Structure 1
Amino acid sequence: MAVKATSDYFELLNKAVSREIQVSIQYMLQHGKMEKLMRKVIPENILLDKTTYEAVGKFLREFAIMEMKHAASVMERIYYLGGSATTKSSKPNIGNSLSEFAKYGLKAEEEALVLYRNIIDAARKVEDWETRELFEKIYSDEEKHLFKFQEYVNIQDEPEGSEQAPLSEWRRIFTSDYFDLLNKAVAAEISAIIQYTNQHEKASLLALREKNTALEVVTEKNKAKVVSELLIPIFKAEMEHLEKISDRIYLLEGEATTEPDPLPQIGETVDDFLKLDHEAENYALVLYRKIIDEAMKRGDSKTRRMFEDIIGQEEDHYWTFDDFLR
């Protein structure tokens, strides 16, 4: 007998999606902020091959990737049951120190365990054994994350040190309006990650349910399957872009945004996905050209080179989607 999923059940599952998107962004941006925090390393620690910041940064990045995989798995299940997966994220909390990272991480994981116990119980009641098994696996992962954050929640942060020296002439190029421009790129990357991940899972379902020709039956492929597969490396690339851009912002003593902009749009059909993704890549290309131009004007060669590399990848994405729209 098919599972009869109610609107309340889908709402519960979508709370998990929102939560997974939240912590994926949260942990990735905290990972990026390590570039800023490592400047607080006391002289004794500079002699070490690896500092606490690098150790924590490594597992935060791993957690961020795992949480987005969790989000994708739950999205897939929602679509399979006939629902619609949300693109909304709960609000990430970043913090300004290792202890705050751990505190916010611990809180997020505690909330997740409560939510996922409720989902496991709800799945049992409606005899949705696949969802129950999925969340039991996710629950196990989140419990490990919680234990990891517990190790660091009482850590002593590095001292602030002496009063910051006046800004040098070179550092004066990094003004608030420049950070606003860079944060438009962060917001665009967050939007793309959510949009492409969601579409990948929705396309996977369409690939299972829509085979209209003999060729599609024989090859076990259709347009939806092809699009679903091509979205995988693209949203992975967008995750790397988010990491690089946020790293750069934090290194320059700025703060990265946590909000997607423009808002992710999913669509109903594979053709919708392609059109919306084509538009998203066009938006990124125009924006990143502006950033490159502004970086060049200010003499920020490192940011310029970074975005020249990113824009090359975004152009590849643009033409990939464009090929399907001809």
Structure 2
Amino acid sequence: MSDDLHLSDVQSLRERARQHVENGAVTESYSANREEVLRLLNESLATELVCTLRYKRHYFMATGLNAKAAADEFLEHAVQEAEHADRLAERIVQLGGEPEFNPDVLSRLSHAQYVAGNTLKEMVYEDLVAERIAIDSYREIIQYLGDKDPTTRRIFEDILAQEEEHADDMADILKDL
């Protein structure tokens, strides 16, 4: 541990808390580039919303022999992707930003593409590709954030774990098709 690291005394903590109180959760000790973090959060929000919509489409469009099992997974994943979007939007607001929900902008910001797929196999394949994009993207964001914004990093770590589960689910279904 570095010798220059020290804990603030209570009086200093109290005084700092009263400075720039309009910044809410963003205190003087926040060391990340807030504008860059907000950009990454909004891109990730767009990714989650695009994935939610694609999973919803696949849920309604799934047909064929293995359609029921796949459709159940599509719906479960759609709900979870929407929950991810909510967490990201909430964090954007905590950091003093505005979550981007404009449909005209979402597909441009999203890391994953909206590829509908025509057959069940194509749908599962496209969902797996999108999950793999999210996994790599979120892993890079986690590394970028490091210790500069542990709250945002933990949100991405939680989401990453679920995206990895989604990828496993899609890979398992793809094997059966």
Distance 2:138 2:158 in 1: 10
Q: Summarize the alignment of residues 5-44 of structure 1 with structure 2, pairs less than 5 Å apart.
A: none
Q: Deviations over 1:72-92 (max 9, x none)?
A: xxxxxxxxxxxxxxxxxxxxx
Amino acid at match of 1:302: T
Superimposed CA distance per residue, residues 214-263 of structure 1 (whole angstroms, 9 cap, x where no aligned partner): xxxxxxxx212221111111111001100001101111101212213244
What residue identity is the alignment partner of 1:271?
K
Q: Say if 2:167 is the partner of 1:324.
A: no
Of 156, 161, 178, the residue aligned with 2:37 is 178
Q: CA deviation at 1:164?
A: 4.5
- Whether the 8 Å CA contact 2:124–2:174 is kept in 1: the answer is yes
Instruction: Work out whether residues 190 and 242 of structure 1, in 8 Å CA contact, stay in contact via their aligned partners in 2.
Output: yes
Conservation of the 8 A alpha-carbon contact between 1:182 and 1:291: no
Question: Structure 2: which amino acid aligns with 1:256?
Answer: P
Q: Deviations over 1:78-115 (max 9, x none)?
A: xxxxxxxxxxxxxxxxxxxxxxxxxxxxxxxxxxxxxx
Number of residue pairs aligned between Structure 1 and Structure 2 = 147
SS of the residue corresponding to residue 141 of structure 2 reads helix
Instruction: Using the aligned pairs only, state the percent identity.
Output: 29
Q: In 1, distance between residues paired with 2:125 and 2:134?
A: 14
The structure 1 residue matched to 2:130, chosen from 274, 280, 290, is 280
CA spacing shift, 1:163–1:319, aligned 2, 3 Å: closer
The two structures have a TM-score, normalised by structure 2, of 0.76
Q: Which segments of 5 or more consecutive residues in structure 2 lack a partner in the other structure?
A: 1-19
Tell me the amino acid that sits aligned with residue 270 of structure 1.
L
Q: Deviations over 1:45-76 (max 9, x none)?
A: xxxxxxxxxxxxxxxxxxxxxxxxxxxxxxxx
Where does 1:134-173 land on structure 2 (aligned, <5 Å)? 164=22, 168-171=27-30, 173=32
Does the CA-based 8 Å contact 2:34-2:95 persist in structure 1? Answer: no
2:61 is aligned with 1:191: no
Cα RMSD after superposing both structures: 2.1
CA distance in 2, matches of 1:163, 1:284: 35
Distance 1:181 1:297 in 2: 16
What does residue range 220-239 of structure 1 map to in structure 2 within 5 Å? Answer: 222-239=65-82
Residue aligning to 1:245: 88
List gaps (5 residues or longer) in structure 1.
1-161, 208-221
User: Mean Cα displacement is larger for which, 172-181 or 266-275?
Assistant: 172-181
Of structures 1 and 2, the one with the larger relative CO (CA 8 A, separation 6+) is 2
Greater mean deviation of Cα atoms: 272-281 or 174-183: 174-183
Q: CA shift at 1:297, angstroms?
A: 4.4
- 2 CA distance for matches of 1:287 and 1:163? 33
Give the drift of 1:163. Answer: 9.4
